[in-house]
Amino acid sequence: MSADGRAAGPPKAILFDAYGTLFDVYAVGTVAENMFPGRGEALAALWRDKQISYTWLREICANYMNFCSVTADALDFAAEALHLNLDARQRQALLDAYDYLPVFPDAAPALATLRAHKTPLAILSNGTPGMLSSLLGASGLADSFAAVLSVDRVGHFKTAAAAYQLGPDAFGVAPADLLFVSSNAWDACGALWFGYRVFWINRRALPFERVGVTPDGQGSSLSALVDWLA
Ligand code: LAC
């Protein structure tokens, strides 16, 4: 432990958020753009915002529903709010696209380098096991991870402690011995409050949330994480 009570030394495992951190959620904007020229980006942005706010709303109201259903509800809201007439075929095509989001180009090389250091890697995500399995299967990254932890097992979304507890339970170590990596600042805050060490992937050059916690490290890409750990 360091003087401030945080663990020192290399992490015993590294846990990654999935959506936005390893997989590009805004890529669905391209599919949407083909359906609604000029509106794809707006649909992708509102869809993601609503998806996350529904997880928070359901968590604070103790009304869990799996991330697959939340994602579909958020799409329906976003389309209606933007006055886009999504027919059943278009709706299904967008939901299918969510199962096969592209992996960020920095992910494969970073994960390969980290694996070579023999640190176990895992995913800790709001996604259901089915959603994560589709994403990983399509990405070619499945073998990179020692564990894929879905909050669906505990029926609580991040930032609930029960969701973050999946990490320490899986590896049998304290949260401070684990490094949590997310591009979602709210997720980084939740993980810091829970007690993880945290690296924030600041993909969109944003300021960090003003809520009284600071990530242990940050950078614009997963390659920056590799440099920071070295
Ligand atoms: C995840 C989303 C919330 O848990 O980014 O993967």
For ligand 1, atom 3, which residue shows the shortest CA distance?
126
Rounded CA-CA distance 72/95 in Å is 7
Q: Report the pocket of ligand 1 as residue ranges, CB < 6 Å.
A: 17-20, 125-127, 158, 184
Q: Residue 150 gets which letter from DSSP?
A: E
Express each pLDDT in 117-143 by its tens digit.
Answer: 989 999 999 999 999 999 999 899 999
Express each pLDDT in 148-172 by its tens digit.
Answer: 999 999 999 999 999 999 999 999 9
Q: For the whole model, what pTM was predicted?
A: 0.95
Look at the block and give the residue holding tokens 């590896």. 171
Rounded CA-CA distance 61/43 in Å is 26
Rounded CA-CA distance 195/174 in Å is 8
Q: Cβ(111)–Cβ(141) under 8 Å? A: yes
17 is annotated as an active-site residue: yes
Express each pLDDT in 48-105 by its tens digit.
Answer: 999 999 999 999 999 999 999 999 999 999 999 999 999 999 999 999 999 999 999 9
Token output for 134: 């589709």
Rounded CA-CA distance 178/223 in Å is 19
Q: Cβ(156)–Cβ(162) under 8 Å? A: yes
